[in-house]
């Protein structure tokens, strides 16, 4: 297991924008937020340029990401925003030599492409956690800002999830399951399928979340994962938040029925209740660190190591 | 190349519903349509039952499909509707022995899952063409109903597409390109990625169409295909109709820019203008038969063999 370095005051934080652009005021808000934490934001000039789809063209987005990865004076890459664009950078990343020192990558949603790459190809641990401009826009409640601060500055070395709900018999039987978490945004994970960077779920708990995907689309992705063998040798499936995705006819989503069928059909444990994804509360989920899952009296309890050290 | 048998009067047409349910009146309309063509519709009792996601549960949908595949007195399987559900049947199909006699599978959209399976696994030729209940709902113009009739009853053995537009330099150079067509609905093709039934584009022209997918999602799927090597050894990419997919901010889609970038980036020929997909006009596209593509004076001309014979 690789470790990332706990934050210290005056640390440089490399800010990148591999997906959609952030608005100028949100970039400034992000800068102010990092300064408030007594960190040195490094937000390169020209990071965001007008583009029909991304925060900048592929070459520029990659140039800034590469510089952040290779900078010798920083240990952190915090993504400004999700959106779409990171997966286009993966073939370019794959041409880089594996860095000597691991860094901490922070982000979610579109950033799932990068998490999958750095954990699988470079063996990094990483942090599925709010994108920087969410802090910059003051969308994080003080309690959760504190949790994030405690994790990053090393006030704690683990994160507890106490609201994990077992959805099938295999899940209700789980005792002291030692594993690691992989996953992220379901739709972004789907876009790794069949590529050299396909999500590897072996000996892992697969965590997925999504926004705006209807039940049948979630079902289709799960079916694809099943056909591709992703639920074999996988320790379990954990649902994060699924938001949006209403059926046009009923204005309600049909997730409950979709998940219920999967809980019945899968022979691996299936859970829900990881407070992470696109909902209001977006708790940090460390990827590729050790974790332990227990179920007692029908309640799941997950403890994940942050992967940080001094 | 396998052939399907031209229709004759009184032929039995096996009707299946592997995806979403059709409404009872549309089933009756489909029956009337087939009778009008002097065919014998075989629409099994109990084909459609209430289900939260599909026309029936997996076992029943598969049972009806299997019966249609194995029936010795029919040569045709016409799908009532698209929607979602066919891909869940593929692992069950894969357990069947390859039928001794090929049949003609007709449908599009969700039915792409089945086209991919029968062409790749069983070597069938098949017909990407309107689902049956579209005829049953009188949504097909007389001209296009006649085209379909001529094809199915053997009045012609080829289909011409004269509005094919080359999008890049490689496309403008195409002369007498002999190939075969594969593909279908882009999103459904995506769901084959990483599975044992992944779309095989080698030595083929890849045709794709979609409905309601925004530009960035189309871009993401193309990027996934590129990373998976689908554009290598592929003779070319042909866009069918892309409808819907408006950007929330502008209420317009950004397909033009997305396709323009791909046309610039791909080194295989890229075309658009195959009149097939989810638009009003849905011309039949034979899969896995021989075809010839020519470009002269900036205009593409595609002739596809229907794959039928007496």
φ and ψ of A108, to 5 deg: -155, -175
pLDDT tens-digit readout, B52-61: 999 999 999 9
Question: What is the average per-residue pLDDT within A69-79?
Answer: 98
Pairing verdict, β B40-42 and B12-16: parallel
- The model's confidence at residue A183, banded by pLDDT at 50, 70 and 90, is very high
Nearest CA in chain A to B199: A194
Cβ(A82)–Cβ(A17) below 8 Å: no
What is the per-residue pLDDT for A1?
A: 76
A278 belongs to the catalytic site: yes
B272 touches chain A (CB under 8 A): no
Backbone torsions φ then ψ of B27, nearest 5 degrees? -65, -45
Sheet of A74-79, strand order: A40-42, A12-16, A74-79, A104-107, A126-128, A285-287
SS (H, E, C) chain A: CCCEECCCCCCEEEEECCCCCCCHHHHHHHHHHHHHCCCEEECCCCCCCCCCCCCCCHHHHHHHHHHHHHCCCEEEEEECCCCCCHHHHHHHHCCCCCCCCCCEEEECHHHHHHHHHHHHHHCCCEEECCCHHHHHCCCCCHHHHHHHHHHHCCCCCEEEEEEEEECCHHHHCCCCEEEEEEEEEHHHHHCCCCCCCCCCCCCCEEEEEEECCCHHHHHHHHHHHHHCCCCCCCCEEEEEEEECCCCCCCCCCCHHHHHHHHHHHCCCCEEECCCCCCCCCCCCEEECCEEEEEEECCEEEEEEECCEEC
Average pLDDT over residues B189-204: 98
* Mean pLDDT estimate for chain B: 98
Q: Under CATH, which number does the domain A158-309 receive?
A: 3.50.30.60
May I ask the CATH class of domain A4-152? Answer: alpha beta
CB atoms within 10 A of CB B298: 9
- On chain A, the residues whose CB falls within 8 A of the CB of B257 are 52-53
The string of pLDDT tens digits covering residues A113-169 is: 999 999 999 999 999 999 999 999 999 999 999 999 999 999 999 999 999 999 999
Residues A55-70: tens digit of each pLDDT: 999 999 999 999 999 9
d(CA B305, CA B290): 6
Nearest CA in chain A to B198: A194
Query: What are the residue ranges spanned by the domains of chain B?
Result: 4-152, 158-309
User: CA B126 to CA B290: how far, in whole Å?
Assistant: 12
Beta strands in chain B (DSSP E): 4-5, 12-16, 40-42, 74-79, 104-107, 126-128, 158-166, 177-185, 205-211, 236-243, 270-272, 285-287, 290-296, 299-305, 308-309
**A305: confidence class by pLDDT, cuts 50, 70, 90:** very high
Nearest CA in chain A to B226: A195
**Residues whose CB falls within 8 Å of the CB of residue B296, separated by 6 or more in sequence, listed in order:** none
Residues of chain B with pLDDT > 90, as a percent, come to 99
Q: How far apart are CA A309 and CA A104, in angstroms?
A: 11
Residues of A in contact with B217 (CB under 8 A): 84
pLDDT in tens, A208-259: 999 999 999 999 999 999 999 999 999 999 999 999 999 999 999 999 999 9
Please give the pLDDT value at position B65.
98
What pLDDT does B1 receive? 76
The tokens for A21 are: 């652009």
ipTM: 0.97
**Mean pLDDT computed over B123-138:** 97
Contact B195 A221 (CB under 8 A): no
């Amino acid at each position: 297991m690789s470790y990332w370095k706990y934050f210290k005051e005056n640390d440089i934080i490399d800010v990148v924008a591999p997906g959609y652009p952030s608005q100028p005021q949100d970039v400034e808000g992000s800068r102010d937020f990092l300064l408030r934490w007594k960190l040195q934001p490094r937000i390169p000039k020209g990071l965001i340029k007008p583009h029909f789809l991304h925060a900048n063209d592929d070459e520029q987005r990659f140039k800034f990401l590469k510089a952040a990865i290779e900078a010798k004076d920083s240990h952190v890459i915090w993504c400004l925003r999700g959106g779409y664009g990171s997966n286009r950078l993966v073939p370019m990343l794959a041409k880089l030599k594996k860095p000597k020192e691991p860094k901490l990558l922070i982000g979610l949603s579109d950033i799932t492409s990068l998490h999958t790459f750095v954990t699988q190809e470079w063996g990094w641990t990483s942090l599925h956690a709010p994108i920087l401009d969410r802090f910059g826009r003051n969308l994080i409640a003080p309690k959760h800002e504190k949790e994030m601060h405690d994790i990053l500055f090393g006030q704690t070395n683990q994160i507890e999830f106490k609201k994990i709900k077992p959805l099938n018999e295999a899940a209700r039987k789980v005792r002291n399951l030692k594993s690691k978490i992989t996953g992220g945004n379901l739709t972004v994970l789907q876009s790794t399928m069949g590529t050299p960077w396909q999500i590897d779920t072996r000996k892992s708990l697969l965590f997925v979340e999504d926004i705006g995907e209807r039940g049948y689309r979630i079902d289709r992705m799960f079916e694809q994962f099943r056909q591709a063998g992703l639920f074999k040798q996988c320790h379990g499936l954990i649902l994060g938040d699924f938001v949006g995705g209403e059926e046009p006819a009923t204005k309600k989503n049909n997730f409950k029925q979709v998940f219920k069928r999967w809980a019945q059909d899968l022979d691996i444990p299936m859970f829900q209740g990881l407070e992470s994804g696109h909902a209001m509360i977006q708790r940090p989920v460390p990827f590729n660190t050790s974790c332990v899952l227990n179920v007692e009296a029908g309640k799941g309890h997950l403890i994940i190591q942050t992967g940080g050290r001094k």
